[in-house]
């Protein structure tokens, strides 16, 4: 695009300086900072992605770490040093078993509808459970499912990834094994109606793309099943 002309107009600072800048910005923020914001805050022509690569290496093995959280970056203390931080430890409200299971189902099956969560757990999901997870900002609304009734779906958030130290939803523990065991397919009940099966197909496809594609994707977009192809390829 216009990059080349711009590069000639604005001299980007040397990479060492860019690394310092990324370091300062990430240190200053309690929340993960996305690449677009980093680039916007750094001088013209700076390349936050490259600078982060250098910075991440620099902090390997140190008391704090440069970690990736979804599409964003943050500095977090090394988790082996958590014992030093009793003072900073925040008592989190104990989540109910229902909430924990619902969270896990959303994380592993996302995007997941309430009906799917209920089918997996075998009980209805109380309003409060979903509310609690929404309030924690660990889940949010995903795209509506393009099935009759256009039910809302839930997906996990960047805060969820941040809280559990995950780079992306793909890094969920045991995800691959669960998938290869077929436990993430939502298998239709025998004799179930045709449209239900269609929905299920779509859904299992959807999962793979979901983590990325739903980040910043438009929530009610029509092309619910479009981006999965690319992701399915990644997977192979």
Partner 1 sequence: MTPSDETSGGATVVSVHERLASEALIVDVDGFEGPLDLLLTMSRTQKVDLRKISVLHLAEQYLAFINQARDLRIELAADYLVMAAWLAFLKSRLLLPPDPADEGPSGEELAAHLAFQLERLSAMREAAAKLMARDQKGRDFFARGIPEDVTRVRRVTYTATLLDLMQGYARIRTRDEFRPFTMDRRYVLTMEEALDRMRHLIGFAGEWADLTSFLPEGWETDPARRRSATAATFAASLELAKAGKVEIRQSDPFAPIQMRRRPQSDG
Chain residues binding a copy of itself by CB under 8 A are 19-25, 27-30, 41-42, 61-64, 75, 77-78, 81, 84-88
Which of these ranges, 15-23, 50-58, 168-176, 224-232, lies near partner 1 under the rule CB under 8 A? 168-176
Pick one of a copy of itself, partner 1, none as the site partner of residue 60 (Cβ within 5 to 8 A by kind).
Answer: none
Strand ranges (DSSP E) for the chain?
33-34, 64-69, 72-77, 112-113, 139-141, 153-156
Q: Is the dihedral of CA 96, 101, 107, 112 positive or negative?
A: negative
Contact predicate 204/185, CB 8 Å? yes
Pick one of partner 1, a copy of itself, none as the site partner of residue 49 (Cβ within 5 to 8 A by kind).
Answer: none
CB neighbour class for 103 (10 Å; exposed up to 12, middle 13-18, buried from 19): buried
Question: In the window 114-153, what residues touch partner 1 (CB under 8 A)?
Answer: 119-123, 132, 136
Q: Give the nearer residue to partner 1 in terms of CB position, either 103 or 224.
A: 103
User: Cis omega before residue 193 (within 30°)?
Assistant: no
Q: State the virtual CA torsion across 49, 50, 53, 57 in degrees, nearest 10.
A: -150
Pick one of a copy of itself, partner 1, none as the site partner of residue 42 (Cβ within 5 to 8 A by kind).
Answer: a copy of itself
Which of these ranges, 6-14, 50-58, 139-147, 181-189, lies near partner 1 under the rule CB under 8 A? 181-189
Instruction: Please tell me the distance from the alpha carbon of residue 34 to that of residue 170, in angstroms, as a whole number.
Output: 19
Residues of this chain that interact with partner 1 (CB under 8 A) are 24, 27-31, 65, 74-79, 82, 85-95, 97-101, 103-105, 107-108, 119-123, 132, 136, 162-166, 172-175, 178-179, 181, 183-184, 186-192
């Amino acid at each position: 695009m216009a990059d080349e002309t711009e590069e000639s107009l604005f001299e980007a600072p040397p990479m060492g300086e860019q690394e310092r800048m990324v370091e300062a910005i990430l240190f200053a923020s309690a929340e993960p900072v996305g690449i677009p914001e980093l680039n916007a805050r750094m001088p013209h022509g700076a390349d936050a992605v490259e600078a982060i690569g250098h910075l991440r290496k620099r902090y390997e093995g140190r008391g704090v770490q440069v970690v990736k959280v979804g599409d964003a970056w943050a500095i977090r203390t090394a988790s082996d040093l958590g014992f030093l931080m009793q003072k900073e430890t925040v008592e989190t409200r104990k989540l109910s078993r229902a909430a924990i299971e619902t969270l896990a189902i959303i994380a592993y099956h996302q995007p997941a509808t309430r009906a799917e969560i209920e089918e997996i757990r075998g009980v209805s999901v109380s309003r409060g459970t979903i509310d609690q997870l929404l309030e924690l900002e660990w889940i949010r609304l995903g795209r509506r499912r393009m099935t009759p009734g256009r039910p809302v779906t839930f997906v996990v958030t960047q805060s969820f990834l941040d809280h559990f130290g995950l780079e992306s939803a793909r890094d969920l523990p045991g995800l691959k094994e669960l998938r290869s065991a077929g436990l993430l397919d939502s298998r239709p009940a025998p004799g179930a109606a045709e449209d239900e099966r269609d929905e299920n197909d779509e859904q299992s496809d959807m999962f793979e793309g979901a983590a990325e594609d739903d980040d910043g994707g438009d929530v009610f977009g029509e092309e619910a099943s479009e981006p999965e192809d690319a992701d399915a390829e990644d997977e192979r």
